[in-house]
Amino acid sequence: MPETKQKKPAAPKKPAATAESKLAKLGLRTDMDLVLHLPMRYEDETEVLTIREACMRGGEVSQVEGVVTSNEIAYKPRRQLLVHIADETGDIQLRFMNFYGSQVKQLAEGTRVRARGEVRHGFFGAEMVHPAYKIVNEGAPLPTSLTPVYPSGEGLSQLVLRRAIADAMKRVDWTDTLPPEVLKTMRLHPLETAVRTLHYPPPQIDENALIDRTHPAWTRVKFDELLAQQLSLKRAQRARRAKGAAKLGKVGTLSSAFEASLPFKLTKAQQRVLKEIREDIKQPYPMQRLLQGDVGSGKTIVAALSAAQAIDSGYQAALMAPTEILADQHFRKIAAWLEPLGVKVAWLTGSLKKKEKEAAYALVESGAAQLVIGTHAIIQDTVQFAKLGLVIVDEQHRFGVGQRLTLRNKGNGDNVPHQLMMSATPIPRTLAMTYYADLEVSVIDELPPGRTPIVTAVVDQNRRDEVIARVHAAALEGRQAYWVCPLIEESEALQLQTATETYETLAAALPDLRVGLVHGRLKPAEKAEVMDAFAAGDIHVLVATTVIEVGVDVPNSSLMVIEHAERFGLSQLHQLRGRVGRGSAASVCLLLYQSPLGPVAKQRLMTMRETTDGFEIARRDLEIRGPGEFLGSRQSGQAMLRFADLETDGWLVDQARDVAHALLHEATPANKATVEAHLERWLGGREEFLKV
Ligand code: ADP
Ligand code: MG
């Protein structure tokens, strides 16, 4: 059937190889991949209407069949192909604006054509514009099921996809991996039936249920997918528990001296999570814990206290942060806490000079440095730890799965270091249960005392002057401000330019204040210098690109201005706003926007105005954006869940978890075989990534 889409079909020289590589581009390599490439919608070609009926229905997509009675290329108002077809009830025009010479020949007079499209009533009678059509013989049978329309890639026609999938459907081994009892109690369709229904639904099916994925055929596929994920996560958890780890059980002189030296008392929440971590790292198998706490909740001190326990126990600890600014800040803060107590802290980032790097490596390798702080430079191959016991990853969602794996492999011998991951981005429950089933979670659900809530206002761009006046007033009261420049995703150069311009305008508008500028292109030493000056109060207004998004902690700053706030995502805005409200002064966040605002941007800014609760913001973000945001691009890029939707399929997650538990818990040979077969079918070789 010649498809009549506008796109020019690529002229393949080696058709087989090309189709294969195009399929591979969509991730369709095995028969199972193909079979699970499910339609996004359907076309109903099961019915042919008479031309009269179709014309009467009008406005709807319908299929007619007729013989070509005329075929001409018209030039008014532009070049187009006009074909008339007729059956015994009437006549309709097919109009093509883009067409090939071959089509003109193909649709010669006397040819029988089945055309499918929306009937419109134009000036010259009924017509279909750019119908899908195929040439048929008289009496050619109609399909008995709906025709699937698949997600496709460039140059890959539906025809090729349909054929590849239909072939794979014949080859796949359809033995059901689920035990009959499970199918029965959960009332699940056999997999083959379910998949077949999804590819080739009978015409009378509830098409809405197919499209919104609530049909029982979908339930079966989603359940299988979730079960595979749960099985795999639980297995990873067991494998981890089977590994050895150093017992970091000693809360010794360093820990106590450190705690005693703190200028504040830990909040109840901090004490609780610290206790959880302390218990965990005493165990002879590696901890894998996520420390979750909203921006400003005080995670750093918990991390430092955990590190102290590792050091007390005779091991090294490493702290990795996603940006140099943040790593630098951690280094200064933590070194200031721990070095007076006799701890040697090494500093390691990519920007160090060769000599400095080598010196740092030596400290780490000899064990002279008990704590290493830095960026991902600390996971380079060249870095050898003498005795790494605990790894702390700040803003963990900024790192890829691969990076976390490498860090975990930095232990020596069979010992895997304990892992503490920190994040201010809360993970909704269903997400935590699926993606992070292998993770313990500690939550700091309380801010340190004495904080006043941040007031957020949404301000039109053209009231910039008032905003500048406000910055001025804050500075006169001895407070400091951030001024965040617009995110320009397309171009870093442009972003830089905007930042520089903003800096110049502000410096000119506020001649009596000291204005600073920090952005990603500055050398680390220059960045550090600006940040130092800001932290010391020597700069009143810090103009910044999003480099300050994560982690920066200057409690005296109480005003945050974000330009073009409509361009930022919710979690990013929340992170940015979290840079203020860290001291006792009342803080304000001004979100400048350019009107008109699109509906999504409006919703985001309203959310920011309404709440400062990170969990609530994350929940709404999940609604607006889907789960990718929480996992970091590289993790979600694995597309671990293609079918199940965490928002709507929470109940299935629970069931899949129970079944996974039962299958693994009763390790009968039959259950083991089920687990193997199911994982093989659903994950093939892709299990490694789930283990992080
Ligand atoms: P985050 O969780 O966002 O990483 P930080 O660890 O940077 O937060 O802490 C935010 C600020 O709160 C820091 O200035 C820190 O010194 C301070 N802080 C942390 N814990 C307490 C506490 N228990 N009492 C008072 N201030 C605290
Ligand atoms: Mg932090």
DSSP string, 607-651: HHHH---HHHHHHHHHHHH-THHHH-HHHHTT---SS--TTT-HH
Q: Are residues 433 and 489 in the same domain?
A: no
Q: Are residues 344 and 366 in the same domain?
A: yes
Average pLDDT over residues 71-76: 90
Q: How far is the CA of 15 from the centre of ligand 1 (A)?
A: 62
Structure tokens at 222: 């989603």
Task: Tell me the three state secondary structure of residue 660.
Answer: helix
Q: Are residues 349 and 485 in the same domain?
A: no
Query: Going by CA atoms, what residue is nearest to atom 27 of ligand 1?
Result: 448
CA distance 401 to 396: 10
In a domain, 659, yes or no: no
Q: How far is the CA of 363 from the centre of ligand 1 (A)?
A: 29
Q: Please report the pLDDT score of residue 207 as a whole number.
A: 87
Q: Do residues 526 and 498 touch, judged by C-beta distance below 8 A?
A: no
In a domain, 200, yes or no: no
Query: Going by CA atoms, what residue is nearest to atom 5 of ligand 1?
Result: 298
Q: How far is the CA of 270 from the centre of ligand 1 (A)?
A: 10
Ligand sitting nearest the alpha carbon of 319: 2
In a domain, 492, yes or no: yes
Which atom of ligand 1 is the closest one to the Cα of 266? 23
Which atom of ligand 1 is the closest one to the Cα of 270? 23
Which atom of ligand 1 is the closest one to the Cα of 555? 14
Query: Going by CA atoms, what residue is nearest to atom 23 of ligand 1?
Result: 266
Query: Going by CA atoms, what residue is nearest to atom 18 of ligand 1?
Result: 298
CA distance 532 to 526: 10
Q: Among residues of the chain, what percentage have pLDDT more than 70?
A: 89
Q: Do residues 344 and 386 touch, judged by C-beta distance below 8 A?
A: no
| Domain total of the chain | 3
SS (H, E, C) 503-515: HHHHHHHCCCCCE
Q: Are residues 465 and 500 in the same domain?
A: yes
Q: Are residues 398 and 481 in the same domain?
A: no
- Give the pLDDT confidence of 214-239 residue by residue, as tens digits: 999 999 999 999 999 888 888 877 87
Closest CA to 143 of 61, 67, 53, 44: 44
DSSP string, 29-82: -SHHHHHT---SEEE--S--B-HHHHHHH-SSEEEEEEEEEEEEEE-SSS-EEE
- Give the pLDDT confidence of 442-474 residue by residue, as tens digits: 999 898 988 878 999 999 999 999 999 999 999
Q: How far is the CA of 294 from the centre of ligand 2 (A)?
A: 9
Q: Are residues 296 and 408 in the same domain?
A: yes
Which atom of ligand 1 is the closest one to the Cα of 394? 4
Q: How crowded is the C-beta side of 53, counted as CA atoms within 13 Å?
A: 11
CA distance 520 to 179: 55
Which residue among 258, 259, 264 is best mutated to probe the pocket of ligand 1, counting the most ligand atoms within 8 A of its Cβ? 264
**Predicted structure pTM score:** 0.67
Q: How far is the CA of 264 from the centre of ligand 1 (A)?
A: 10
Domain extent, residue 602, equals 454-611
Largest CA distance in the chain: 98
Q: How far is the CA of 447 from the centre of ligand 1 (A)?
A: 8
CA distance 520 to 87: 69
| Geometric angle at alpha carbon 626, from 625 and 632, rounded to 5° | 95
Q: Please report the pLDDT score of residue 496 as a whole number.
A: 80
In a domain, 188, yes or no: no
In a domain, 574, yes or no: yes
In a domain, 686, yes or no: no
Q: How far is the CA of 267 from the centre of ligand 1 (A)?
A: 10
Q: Please report the pLDDT score of residue 635 as a whole number.
A: 38
Q: Do residues 137 and 112 touch, judged by C-beta distance below 8 A?
A: yes
Q: How far is the CA of 666 from the centre of ligand 2 (A)?
A: 42
Task: Tell me the three state secondary structure of residue 444.
Answer: strand
Instruction: Identify the domain boundary among 84, 107, 142.
Output: 142
Q: How far is the CA of 393 from the centre of ligand 2 (A)?
A: 10
CA distance 453 to 613: 10
User: Residue 58 pLDDT > 50, yes or no?
Assistant: yes
Ligand sitting nearest the alpha carbon of 321: 2
Which atom of ligand 1 is the closest one to the Cα of 301? 6
Rg of the chain over all Cα atoms, to the nearest angstrom:
31
Measure Cα distances from 431 to 57, 421, 640 in Å: 46, 16, 12
Q: How far is the CA of 340 from the centre of ligand 1 (A)?
A: 20
Q: Are residues 344 and 395 in the same domain?
A: yes
User: Residue 396 pLDDT > 90, yes or no?
Assistant: no
Instruction: Identify the domain boundary among 96, 125, 142.
Output: 142
Q: Are residues 428 and 353 in the same domain?
A: yes
Which stretch of 188-197, 373-382, 509-518, 634-643 has the lowest confidence by average pLDDT?
634-643
Which residue among 582, 584, 587 is best mutated to probe the pocket of ligand 1, counting the most ligand atoms within 8 A of its Cβ? 582
Which stretch of 68-72, 297-301, 611-615 has the lowest confidence by average pLDDT?
611-615
Give the CATH number, domain containing residue 277. Answer: 3.40.50.300
Q: Please report the pLDDT score of residue 618 as a whole number.
A: 78
Q: Among residues of the chain, what percentage have pLDDT more than 90?
A: 53
Ligand sitting nearest the alpha carbon of 553: 1
Alpha helices in 397-523 (DSSP H): 401-408, 429-435, 464-476, 492-509
Q: Are residues 541 and 498 in the same domain?
A: yes
Ligand sitting nearest the alpha carbon of 265: 1
Would you give the DSSP letter of residue 95? Answer: E
Query: Going by CA atoms, what residue is nearest to atom 9 of ligand 1?
Result: 298
Structure tokens at 249: 């059980």
Q: Are residues 474 and 537 in the same domain?
A: yes
Task: Tell me the three state secondary structure of residue 114.
Answer: strand
Q: Are residues 374 and 432 in the same domain?
A: yes
Q: Please report the pLDDT score of residue 489 as a whole number.
A: 67
Give the CATH number, domain containing residue 59. Answer: 2.40.50.140
CA distance 396 to 425: 9
In a domain, 575, yes or no: yes
Query: Going by CA atoms, what residue is nearest to atom 26 of ligand 1?
Result: 448
In a domain, 361, yes or no: yes
Tell which wins on pLDDT, 608 or 528. 608
Would you give the DSSP letter of residue 5? Answer: -
Q: Which residues line ligand 1 (CB under 6 A)?
A: 264-267, 270, 293, 295-301, 424, 448, 551, 553, 555, 582
Q: Are residues 328 and 420 in the same domain?
A: yes
Task: Tell me the three state secondary structure of residue 176.
Answer: coil
Which atom of ligand 1 is the closest one to the Cα of 553? 7
Instruction: Identify the domain boundary among 590, 611, 632.
Output: 611
- Give the pLDDT confidence of 102-126 residue by residue, as tens digits: 889 999 999 999 999 999 987 778 9
Q: How far is the CA of 326 from the centre of ligand 2 (A)?
A: 8
User: Residue 9 pLDDT > 50, yes or no?
Assistant: no
CA distance 458 to 593: 7
